[in-house]
Structure 1
């Protein structure tokens, strides 16, 4: 006969893990609702997320990182994407090492959110390199859409600015030897965003709508 207490012990562990997951999920859902700010007040909204991230870090760091990382990873990526987009558009300048920088480094994002980045030996809540790179890719995709919308609004200089930036970023990604399958596939898609913006710029050139000096800028 098998001792029933063995399975009772297993059930207790399962219940404990479920409770932890539910607690983390509740915080992440709050984070998800707040991570979609309207651009006009993006900086204020993003700053408000630091408290939620602090709560998430406090609870998550009490448990094995990679066991529960999937609960918050997507929303943390979305938050970092919002931070990067806001920084690219000119916000959060006080958190960048250079006001001329187009985006925030992973260290700058970690400092802004007050969380560790790329921990290798400590089992603690942190921002991974993969999450950071996926956030950058999301920003590129959004900027490609912005290039099209900018033309609609009569801003003909913006697509060139975007094109120059995402081509540089794409060149940087090509230097990486990516092992993560999802990250590798997503990064391959950057070239389509580059092509999309290049088509916009080419069309503007044909119509003589490219501002003088914009290409050099």
Structure 2
């Protein structure tokens, strides 16, 4: 005769897992509510830097661009990275003109009120190289966020990050990059992809995400 206790034990396990998931979802929802004011503040801080960017553009445009570009290039990349990170997390939505989770170079230029990719003028602008380096920094930071999300009990975000970094990697592979620094940095994206994939695979093994998600 079949021992019904086996199924009662399985049901108890199912109920336990369901309870844990409910608790984790409640924590994540609470976290999401707390993230919004952080994003609002981040947006406010980014927009506050526009005045400084305007001053920089005004002074820099009076001098040969590529002679002095190295003075501000790193900080401009950092600012663009901050913009992209904030946008990816859900901020700056009013500056997006597409369904993409990040801003195009034209959208970033419009936000900062500066020209982008100038070819005929020797004036201050955001270069394609600076923009791409900022996107690479975004991919690297998101790979780290994937690990931290698991620690916080957020198992959905690693899936989102995994899909995004894979898409970015495939996009960069389409580029024929001439800039040595940019080419070397872009080669490193595969390590971020591996890190994000490992997180998702580990979650799948622990049955914390639906089966098949690791291969998405």
The answer to whether TM tops 0.5 is yes
| TM-score interval for Structure 1 and Structure 2 normalised by the shorter chain | 0.7 to 0.9
Partner of 1:137: 136
Partner of 1:87: 87
* Aligned residues of 2:39 and 2:91 also touching (Cα < 8 A): no
The CA RMSD over aligned residues, in Å, is 1.7
The alignment's TM-score, normalised by the length of structure 2, stands at 0.79
In structure 1, the residue corresponding to 2:49 is in which secondary structure? helix
* Aligned residues of 2:87 and 2:103 also touching (Cα < 8 A): yes
* Aligned residues of 2:204 and 2:213 also touching (Cα < 8 A): no
For the residues of structure 1 that align with 2:93 and 2:39, how far apart are their CA atoms? 15
* Aligned residues of 1:87 and 1:93 also touching (Cα < 8 A): yes
Partner of 2:61: 61
In structure 2, the residue corresponding to 1:134 is in which secondary structure? helix
Partner of 1:166: 165
* Structure 1 residues not aligned, in runs of 5+: 1-37
Partner of 2:110: 111
For the residues of structure 2 that align with 1:170 and 1:91, how far apart are their CA atoms? 23
Moved over 4 A (4+): 211-217
For the residues of structure 2 that align with 1:162 and 1:77, how far apart are their CA atoms? 21
Bigger Rg over Cα:
2
Cα drift, residue 121 of structure 1: 1.0
* Aligned residues of 2:139 and 2:192 also touching (Cα < 8 A): yes
Cα drift, residue 215 of structure 1: 7.0
Cα drift, residue 101 of structure 1: 1.5
Map 1:4-15 to 2 at 5 A: none
* 1:92 to 1:213, Cα distance in 2 relative to 1, 3 A: farther
* Aligned residues of 2:200 and 2:213 also touching (Cα < 8 A): no
* Aligned residues of 1:157 and 1:214 also touching (Cα < 8 A): no
The alignment's TM-score, normalised by the length of structure 1, stands at 0.79
* 1:51 to 1:151, Cα distance in 2 relative to 1, 3 A: same
Partner of 1:35: none
Cα drift, residue 41 of structure 1: 1.8
